[in-house]
Structure 1
Amino acid sequence: MKKLNVLFVALLSALVLAACGSNDDSSSSSGTQVISQTNSNYYQGVIKNGHYLTSKSRGVSVQQNDNQLNLKGFENGLLSISKDQFPTDTYILQEGQYIDTSTAEDWLGRKSKNNPDGLNPAGSDTKEPLYLQQMDEQDFMEQSHGSLKIKGMTVGLGINSVYYYRKEAYGAVYQKKLSDSDIEKQGKEIADKVLQRLRQKKDLKNIPIVIALYKQAPNDSLVGGNFYSYSVNKAGSTSVDNWKSLDIKNYVLPDSSTSEVNSNDEDAFENFKNQVQKFFPNLSGVTAQAHYVDGSLRGLHVNITTQFYGQSEIISFTQYVASTAKKYLPNNIPIDIQVSSSEGIQSFLSRKTGSKNFYTHVFTSY
């Protein structure tokens, strides 16, 4: 029995990073405008008739995804892969318009007599796992004589690492861990079918199409999943035969369950954490999400939960965190630090790659 939930995820940065398009078989029309590029790391976006149009397939998932970090990691990771193939200074990003919501729902469902397009295995929910969890499409455009033409596409496929199911409606939730070999095999088979179907569309027959596979993190994970493989398929190709592996991992710090985290990175974070807690003892927690690529730390997102209420306390604490982070946390990687309480975000700190000092902002209410 197919149960689909549509989750529409609205990101504040979408107007800059993403774009909208036109009808299924047309990628240019009157009333289409290109948003000016504010940062070389961002794509120019597209608006139509003054309105932002969301992706037609983003947010469609085969089950309720309880780990929101999967959704964020999936979208951000897909953008990173796309940037390697479709540079931001050459291409314009349009939100996916070729895989519409209805099509995505059918593809994410089980294959059956009523749904021959289902990409998940036929069978009962209690015996046969669902592998394909979510998908997203990104269209890459070039502007010529006032119109936009699609010149490339990236499609992300989110593959479950744990299958959750019920034996009866509203009953207990059971889970089955899926093996890495199964995840890899199923992901590649699904990707091949997706490529074949995309090539049936006139606009997509002769453009490069990148397909990337994402391993979903379990629902109880404190970090999102990661992309583990991708393929760049040249114009006209109808089968995927050249996969490239990705070594991307996300970990939680402080870490007590794995030895895969670099000991120097872990020591640096522990020193930062200890100094912050020593100076301001009324903290509820200091944790971080560490992002590794090819075994090297590429970014940190730190969360500090406080019990502060006074504005002067928050200002002093933020200043102290900035100086302590500069002293103890690793250099030459992007770092975001969010300070919050049960009432919401209190301050935010950020440092880009190559910068020495942190940008800080303390939130105030009037």
Structure 2
Amino acid sequence: MMKKKLLVLTSLFASTAMLGACGNLGKAISGGGASQVVTSKKKGYQTTGQTDTDYYQGIIKDGRYLTNKARGVGVYQNSDNMLNLKSFEAGMMNLSKEQFPTKSYVFREGQVLSKDTVENWLDRKSKDNPDGLNPEDNGKKEADKRNPIYVQQIEEQDYMQEKDGKLSLAGVTIGIGMNQKDYYQKEEYGATYTTDISTEKMKEEGQKAATTILARLRQKSEIGNDTPILICMFKQAPNDSLVGGSFYAYALSKSGTSISSWTDTDIKSVVLPATDSSSVPNENDATSFSAFMNKTQSFFPNLAGVTAQAQYKGKELQGMHVNITTQFYSMTEITSFAQFVSQMARTYLPSGVPIDITIKGSDGTVQAFLSRDSGQTSYYTHVFSSY
């Protein structure tokens, strides 16, 4: 069987440290309060500063933002759902905030795990790669007989605190992305086939991978035995899904190599409008969005589509990303439409949660952007000029 290649996936989002809200349905940065670089020679480090206490400060080294050594490394799957990367990175930060508060910790992109290390871990186990977390290739090509790829991606986030005038590593978050479906080819450039992975098997393999990764991390001198490690388990969405995956469980290891218990997150992402209203945890949200969509489409008929990704924790809506595709060309049309959408959003979309609305042309160009924080009623609106 052909061996799967490892590919460094490049996300459209350069950094989740300060812009995590773009993927986690959190606060949107809208006007005012520009971030300033805070330099402290006494403390011997630089940070990006904060636009809002909901965001971590990031670290600057030699005048440049410190990027992740292995960011975006994943097992290549044909037509990968890029929404998975967005949901994965931002969701990690959301879970991290509960353990490592933004007021007490400074964010650092992962610096412990190298690109080569993560690639080896994500590859299949073999004689040449004993560190592989995925099972060895058994040579089978039938979907229900082959050994699938279970572990799809691994990412590290570091959380720092000041100690003795310097920033020291005080916490690590590890995200582990698990496949529900494993896409493969029987021959190079051939048709794509799928091996389905049950939820039970996905969780079983995920826990085994988490235990192994924890033991390996404890052997790293930068981490040692007593640095808290938060392990977050992520369920990848299928390639044809209109939403990204979601985290289904997490565990905190304060020391040692054992994981005593897992906590279920009860997080779910859904697409609106829903073909089946029962799939939406709160049917009132589905009804509200349908009213917004109908009003918007009836007033401006030149629309290719109005959809949303809504995220829930249990039955509680956490936030919503709305995407509108238009066939407008003139600046006056786009401006008028953005103003109208703002009014309809205030009237029909759920209140008390962060919502952002992206208006794009049929060619994918962003024409306007609207956002509202959970504590606001009006929308910040920006129309992009054509020059």
| TM-score, normalised relative to structure 1 | 0.93
Matched, 1:69 2:83: yes
Equivalent position amino acid for 2:55 in 1 = Y
In structure 2, how many angstroms separate the alpha carbons of the residues matched to 1:365 and 1:263? Answer: 39
* Contact in 2 for aligned 1:231/1:240 (Cα 8 Å): yes
Per the alignment, residue 148 of structure 2 pairs with: 129
Q: 2:174 aligns with which of 146, 155, 169?
A: 155
Per the alignment, residue 297 of structure 1 pairs with: 317
Per the alignment, residue 79 of structure 1 pairs with: 93
- CA shift for structure 1 position 47: 1.1
In structure 2, how many angstroms separate the alpha carbons of the residues matched to 1:47 and 1:61? Answer: 26
In structure 2, how many angstroms separate the alpha carbons of the residues matched to 1:263 and 1:230? Answer: 28
Per the alignment, residue 32 of structure 2 pairs with: none
- CA shift for structure 1 position 305: 0.7
Matched, 1:51 2:71: no
- CA shift for structure 1 position 32: 3.9
Per the alignment, residue 351 of structure 1 pairs with: 372
In structure 2, how many angstroms separate the alpha carbons of the residues matched to 1:218 and 1:2? Answer: 18
- Indicate the SS of the match to 1:320: helix
* Contact in 1 for aligned 2:267/2:314 (Cα 8 Å): yes
Residue identity (%): 51
- CA shift for structure 1 position 12: 4.4
User: Which digits, 9 at most, give the CA deviation of each residue in 1:161-191, with x for residues without a partner?
Assistant: 1011111111111001110000110000100
* Contact in 2 for aligned 1:56/1:99 (Cα 8 Å): yes
Equivalent position amino acid for 1:200 in 2 = Q
User: Which digits, 9 at most, give the CA deviation of each residue in 1:308-340, with x for residues without a partner?
Assistant: 111111111111110111001111011101111
- Indicate the SS of the match to 1:322: helix
In structure 1, how many angstroms separate the alpha carbons of the residues matched to 2:345 and 2:111? Answer: 42
- Indicate the SS of the match to 1:316: helix
Per the alignment, residue 104 of structure 2 pairs with: 90
In structure 1, how many angstroms separate the alpha carbons of the residues matched to 2:361 and 2:149? Answer: 38
Per the alignment, residue 5 of structure 2 pairs with: 3
- Indicate the SS of the match to 1:204: coil
- Indicate the SS of the match to 1:115: coil
Task: Mark the CA change 1:41 to 1:161 in structure 2 (over 3 Å): closer, same or farther.
Answer: same
Gaps of 5+ in 2: 21-42
Matched, 1:207 2:227: yes
How many correspondences in the alignment? 354
Per the alignment, residue 50 of structure 2 pairs with: 37
Per the alignment, residue 116 of structure 1 pairs with: 130
Per the alignment, residue 29 of structure 2 pairs with: none
Q: 2:210 aligns with which of 186, 191, 202?
A: 191
* Contact in 1 for aligned 2:66/2:108 (Cα 8 Å): no
- Indicate the SS of the match to 1:274: helix
Equivalent position amino acid for 1:347 in 2 = A
- Indicate the SS of the match to 2:284: helix
* Contact in 2 for aligned 1:92/1:140 (Cα 8 Å): yes
Task: Mark the CA change 1:15 to 1:264 in structure 2 (over 3 Å): closer, same or farther.
Answer: closer
| TM-score, normalised relative to structure 2 | 0.88
Per the alignment, residue 31 of structure 2 pairs with: none
* Contact in 1 for aligned 2:172/2:228 (Cα 8 Å): yes
* Contact in 1 for aligned 2:16/2:89 (Cα 8 Å): no
Per the alignment, residue 279 of structure 2 pairs with: 260
More off after superposition, 104-113 vs 291-300: 291-300
* Contact in 2 for aligned 1:308/1:341 (Cα 8 Å): yes
Per the alignment, residue 142 of structure 1 pairs with: 161
* Contact in 2 for aligned 1:17/1:43 (Cα 8 Å): no
Per the alignment, residue 21 of structure 1 pairs with: none
Per the alignment, residue 40 of structure 2 pairs with: none
- CA shift for structure 1 position 144: 2.9
Per the alignment, residue 233 of structure 1 pairs with: 253
In structure 2, how many angstroms separate the alpha carbons of the residues matched to 1:193 and 1:275? Answer: 52
* Contact in 1 for aligned 2:81/2:240 (Cα 8 Å): yes
